[in-house]
């Protein structure tokens, strides 16, 4: 189980069942024929695998799985390099079975046909049309299995002028508005310093598949789920989009050339102040502090005991919003002399939202909450050895997630899938391997 057994269950009996020896699974019995890669695709079946679905990850033996560039990419655990040592790939593909299948060959196509017949879902995030050109469109898959759920996921969707355009996280973030909406005034946009929308792509692909599974559970019908990462991204703007469509305010930029962004550390549309990230004692140390109402502001003033913050010019929300630069300057002058953890602790003790900006080392290895949650389960990878991976941020009282199976090495489960599931003999599997089909 991906959790720390001594904390939660003891205190909350509703979680006790999840700790029995034979954990019940939410998605047990569901089988996914999985062509996804990178995080934007692989993230979706990762979730399903952690909740008990059988995920059969299909890779190309000719290119040795390198379609997923993360397979052999840094960071690396140690000095070893190669296709089994990419840590991102290793993180994104836990709880999956791995097979190789050469779809350029007739025998390969025939085996995929057999696999589709025993699969509930076919998932892929190739560029638009790739699987169709191999002969596996939704229509042809439906001939094989009428209630199949076919989930496709690409940067711009399967239709429209940009349908052939390629994408990865930073490109999807740029085109869907997230880069322009992140940064500080009079600067180029900072954007997100990682592929935030690759996470989102995985979430929405999982949501689409789960919605289709629920629809099938009720009606017996399958369907085609078409996802565009840029559309999923543009769904996330909330009031920032309405500020344009209702009030005509664009985030195009603060000068005539579109350079600069509003200060995204402030609560531009949320009416809260202070609302910022402030420098603390030490090197690159920061604390985020928010006051949600006037009562909280008065409590913060009591915590700080600072003459600058006690000035009448900051007395009301209206006054503070009218001069955010002065407020942020006064806040920063107070925090600069203090330890960020000390400020966090004192604010939280007064019922205020405050958090130190945590480094990866701090939130992974020095955080009582992520530890108690069991957020970083360990698995034993056939090539890399012991590694820790991301867990899931929910616990379900009856059918919780479980992460124990490491990412498969290339073709690791060929015997299981082609032998046990499809009924081929050892000799047949050997022949297919030698002839380049597997």
Q: Which residues, 260 to 319, sit near other proteins by CB under 8 A?
A: 261-262, 264-265, 267-272, 275-279, 284, 286-290, 292
**Using CB under 8 A, which of 83, 134, 142, 226 touches other proteins?**
226
**Using CB under 8 A, which of 6, 21, 133, 193 touches other proteins?**
193
Please choose, out of 56-64, 96-104, 387-395, 417-425, the segment that lies near other proteins by the rule CB under 8 A: 387-395
Least separation, in Å, of the C-beta of 109 and other proteins? 24
Query: Alpha helix (H) ranges present in 72-195?
Result: 87-92, 106-117, 130-133, 138-144, 169-175
Distance CA 259, CA 94 (A): 42
Judged by CB under 8 A, the number of residues near other proteins is 170
Token pair for residue 417? 């899938």
Q: Taking a C-beta distance cutoff of 8 angstroms, is the pair 189, 261 a contact?
A: yes
Q: Taking a C-beta distance cutoff of 8 angstroms, is the pair 44, 205 a contact?
A: yes
Q: Taking a C-beta distance cutoff of 8 angstroms, is the pair 101, 112 a contact?
A: yes
Token pair for residue 424? 């081929």
- Return the number of the residue (167 or 414) whose C-beta is nearest other proteins: 167
**Residue 231: exposure state from Cβ atoms within 10 A (0-12, 13-18, ≥19):** middle
Q: Is 241 in the site for other proteins (CB under 8 A)?
A: yes
Site string for other proteins, 322-351 (x = CB under 8 A): ----------------------x---x--x
Q: Side by side, which strands form the sheet with 275-279?
A: 275-279, 286-290, 353-356
Least separation, in Å, of the C-beta of 425 and other proteins? 34
Among residues 347, 359, 257, 343, the alpha carbon closest in space to that of 296 is found at 347
Site string for other proteins, 75-114 (x = CB under 8 A): xxx---------xx-xx-----------------------
**Using CB under 8 A, which of 83, 144, 207, 326 touches other proteins?**
207
Token pair for residue 249? 């305010």
Q: Is 133 in the site for other proteins (CB under 8 A)?
A: no
Please choose, out of 95-103, 158-166, 305-313, 430-438, the segment that lies near other proteins by the rule CB under 8 A: 158-166
Please choose, out of 56-64, 238-246, 411-419, 422-430, the segment that lies near other proteins by the rule CB under 8 A: 238-246
DSSP code at position 222: -
- Return the number of the residue (5 or 160) whose C-beta is nearest other proteins: 160
Distance CA 240, CA 134 (A): 41
**Using CB under 8 A, which of 36, 93, 125, 228 touches other proteins?**
228
């Amino acid at each position: 189980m991906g959790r720390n057994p001594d904390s939660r269950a003891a205190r909350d009996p509703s979680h006790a069942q999840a700790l029995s020896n034979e954990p019940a699974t939410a998605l047990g019995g569901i089988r996914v024929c999985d062509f996804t890669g990178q995080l934007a695709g692989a993230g979706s079946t990762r979730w399903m695998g952690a909740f008990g679905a059988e995920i059969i990850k299909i890779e190309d033996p000719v290119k040795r799985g390198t379609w997923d560039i993360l397979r052999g990419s840094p960071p690396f655990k140690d000095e070893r390099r190669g296709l089994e040592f990419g840590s991102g790939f290793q993180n994104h593909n836990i709880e999956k079975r791995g097979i190789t299948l050469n779809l350029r060959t007739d025998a390969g196509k025939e085996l995929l046909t057999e696999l589709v017949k025993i699969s509930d879902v076919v998932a892929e995030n190739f560029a638009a049309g790739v699987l169709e050109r191999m002969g596996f469109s939704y229509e042809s898959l439906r001939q094989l299995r009428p209630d199949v759920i076919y989930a496709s996921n690409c940067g711009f969707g399967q239709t429209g002028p940009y349908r052939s355009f390629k994408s990865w996280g930073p490109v999807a973030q740029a085109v869907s508005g997230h880069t322009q909406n992140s940064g500080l005034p009079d600067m180029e946009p900072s954007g997100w310093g990682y592929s935030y929308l690759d996470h989102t792509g995985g979430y929405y692909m999982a949501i689409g598949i789960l919605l289709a599974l629920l629809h099938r559970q009720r009606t017996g019908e399958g369907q085609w789920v078409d996802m565009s990462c840029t559309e999923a991204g543009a769904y996330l703007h909330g009031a920032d989009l309405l500020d344009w469509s209702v009030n005509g305010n664009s985030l195009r930029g603060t000068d005539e050339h579109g350079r600069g962004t509003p200060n995204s550390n402030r609560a531009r549309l949320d009416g809260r102040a202070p609302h910022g990230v402030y420098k603390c004692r030490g090197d690159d140390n920061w604390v985020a502090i928010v006051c949600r109402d006037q009562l909280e502001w008065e409590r913060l003033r009591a915590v700080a005991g600072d003459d600058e913050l006690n000035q009448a010019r900051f007395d009301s929300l209206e006054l503070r919003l009218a001069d955010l630069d002065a407020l942020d300057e006064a806040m920063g002058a107070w925090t600069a002399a203090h330890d960020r953890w000390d400020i966090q602790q004192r604010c939280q003790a007064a019922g205020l939202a405050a958090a130190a900006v945590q480094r990866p080392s701090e939130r992974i290895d020095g955080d009582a909450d992520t530890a108690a949650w069991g957020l970083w389960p360990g698995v034993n990878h056939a090539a890399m050895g012991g590694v820790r991976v991301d867990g899931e941020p929910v616990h379900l009282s009856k059918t919780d997630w479980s992460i124990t199976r490491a990412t498969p090495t290339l073709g690791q489960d060929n015997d299981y899938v082609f032998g046990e599931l499809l009924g081929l003999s050892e000799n047949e599997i050997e022949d297919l391997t030698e002839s380049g089909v597997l």
